[in-house]
Structure 1
Amino acid sequence: MEFITYTNEDQLPLLQRLIETDLSEPYSVFTYRYFLNAWPYLCILAMDEGVCVATIVGKHDITKKGVRRGYIAMLVVDKHYRRKGLGSKLINMIIERMAEANCAQVVLETEVTNTSAVRLYENLGFVKDKRLHRYYMNGVDAFRLKLWMSTIELPDTQC
């Protein structure tokens, strides 16, 4: 397994195919470009023999209260590669990069019905911050999960 950082538009179809297959939310090419062009170092692709089998996409910004916050926008692991620690590895990699960017917290949303994702994030130290009613276009509620950076210690995750 090779982990690569997004470097150019030629890689966009690799992660786009994977994301469109597994996530319920449809994203336009402009949404991908928003994240990938501004924060390419917060897009990591897991490649297995030239095939993208997992990816994580994020960004960071400043809240209204002046707190630097990381945001995980998308995480997808191909169904044949799940339960092997790949999602945890990608999350820990992006958290490390967000820590290097001096983020004080990391937030994300996930469908309340995606219990394995909720469990994964909670096992990594995220806590449910709020429930967002009918957040997704399919009408499903979301949990906003939050991780405070000062309280974490990143494990050495091997895949």
Structure 2
Amino acid sequence: MASIVYRPYRGEADLPLIMALVQSELSEPYVIYTFRYFLHQWSVLLAYPGDGGASADPVGVIVCKQSLHKDLVNRGYIAMLSVDKKWRKRGIASSLVQKSIQAMKVDGVDEIVLETEYDNFAALSLYESLGFIREKRLYRFYLNGKDAFRLVLAVPPSNDDGG
């Protein structure tokens, strides 16, 4: 089995590769301007096979952000997670989420939220195995008319910050 290398988004040269990966795997359509907004203002982590050399295309991507929610809660948000179908069942999605959670914990996040289609059982299983719980069902949330579940991971204060 090939090793996986993780690296952050490096700039516009990564954009077409990320777009191709996300558009082939996610049901929600995004235009290039949406990608640019996410990629230039949010945290992005890519997964590559082997040494992640110039010839390799990414096989996984996660896009996240952190912000104050209602001026009180430091909330992390996972906007996109996509892994190429040929590379699934190798722990890539789990690693991308865990690495993102760890980065957000370092930055003092109180909770992490995301939405996923109500019938995406693989995604629900992944997130629930990492401690996320279903907060609510969002009816007709996606453009395709599908419902979503909002999932939340409460992040307790670490021992480093007096909690």
TM-score (norm 1): 0.90
In structure 2, what residue type is equivalent to 1:85? G
Task: Give 1:155's aligned residue.
Answer: none
Percent identity of the aligned residues?
A: 45
Q: 1:67: how far off?
A: 0.6
Task: Give 1:45's aligned residue.
Answer: 46
Task: Give 2:73's aligned residue.
Answer: 67
In structure 1, what residue type is equivalent to 2:97? I
Unaligned runs of 5+ in 1: 153-159
Task: Give 1:35's aligned residue.
Answer: 38
Bigger Rg, structure 1 or 2: 2
RMSD over aligned Cα atoms: 1.4
Deviation digits for residues 41-76 of structure 1, max 9, x if unmatched? x21111125111111011111111511100000001
In 1, are the aligned partners of 2:76 and 2:104 still within 8 Å (CA)? yes
In 1, are the aligned partners of 2:139 and 2:146 still within 8 Å (CA)? yes
Distance 2:35 2:65 in 1: 11
Task: Give 1:104's aligned residue.
Answer: 110
Distance 2:109 2:75 in 1: 5
The structure 1 segments of at least 4 consecutive aligned residues displaced by more than 3 Å after TM superposition are none
In structure 1, what residue type is equivalent to 2:119? T
Distance 2:71 2:9 in 1: 30
Give yes or no for the alignment of 1:80 onto 2:86: yes
Give yes or no for the alignment of 1:58 onto 2:64: yes
TM-score (norm 2): 0.88
Task: Give 1:134's aligned residue.
Answer: 140
Task: Give 1:94's aligned residue.
Answer: 100
Task: Give 2:8's aligned residue.
Answer: 5
Task: Give 1:156's aligned residue.
Answer: none
In structure 1, what residue type is equivalent to 2:11? N
In 1, are the aligned partners of 2:110 and 2:157 still within 8 Å (CA)? no
Q: Bigger CA drift: 48-57 or 123-132?
A: 48-57
Distance 2:152 2:68 in 1: 15
Q: 1:7: how far off?
A: 1.8
Distance 1:151 1:123 in 2: 20
Corresponding residue pairs, total: 150
In structure 1, what residue type is equivalent to 2:48? M
